[in-house]
Structure 1
Amino acid sequence: MNHNEITRVQDYLRQTFGNPEINLKAPEKDTLPAEFYINDEFIGVIYRDVDEGEVSYALNMSILEEDLPPGVL
């Protein structure tokens, strides 16, 4: 993702989730995913995809089981 795309996607996410603390960090190479943060906490990565000439962006967020609240038994 290039700088312009990162800015546009970041603005979209901030508006959609109503959170100005969302930040995307550029990858070292344009072919790598951008890193998605809320404040300084890493949330996931955003991939850019092109299919039949249409561009889309996909958020991949991993959730560790240890971070989940206790389950109901």
Structure 2
Amino acid sequence: MTPNEIAKVQSYLRRTFESDSISIQAPAKAGAPIEVYSGEEFVGVLHRDEEDGEVSYDLHISILAEDLE
């Protein structure tokens, strides 16, 4: 993902979840996952998908059972 795409997705997520604490960090190495944070808490990874000329962004959030308690 380009820095411009990352900025647009970050802005969208902040508006959607009404939280300026959401941040997307570009990976240090090419091909590494793009990480999404709420404050300092890691919440998931972001993937870019392009199929038939259409682009979408998928946010995968994993919640550990131990975090629910």
Q: Same fold (TM over 0.5)?
A: yes
Give the TM-score of the pair, scaled to structure 1.
0.86
Cα distance, 1:34 vs structure 2:
1.4
Bigger Rg, which one: 1
Tell me, which stretches of 5 or more residues in structure 1 are unaligned?
Answer: none
SS at match of 1:18: coil
Supply the distance in 2 between the matched residues of 1:6 and 1:68 (Cα, whole angstroms): 29
CA RMSD of aligned residues (A): 1.1
Provide, for residues 24-46 of structure 1, a one-character-per-residue CA deviation record: whole Å limited to 9, x for no partner: 000121x4431000111100001
1:42 equivalenced with 2:34 (yes/no) = no
Who is 1:53 aligned against?
A: 53
1:25 counterpart = 2:25: yes
Identity of aligned residues (%): 51
**What's the TM-score once normalised by structure 2's chain length?**
0.91
Question: Which runs of 5 or more structure 2 residues have no equivalent in the other structure?
Answer: none
Tell whether the 8 Å contact from 1:23 to 1:37 is kept in structure 2 after alignment. Answer: yes
Aligned residue type for 1:21: S
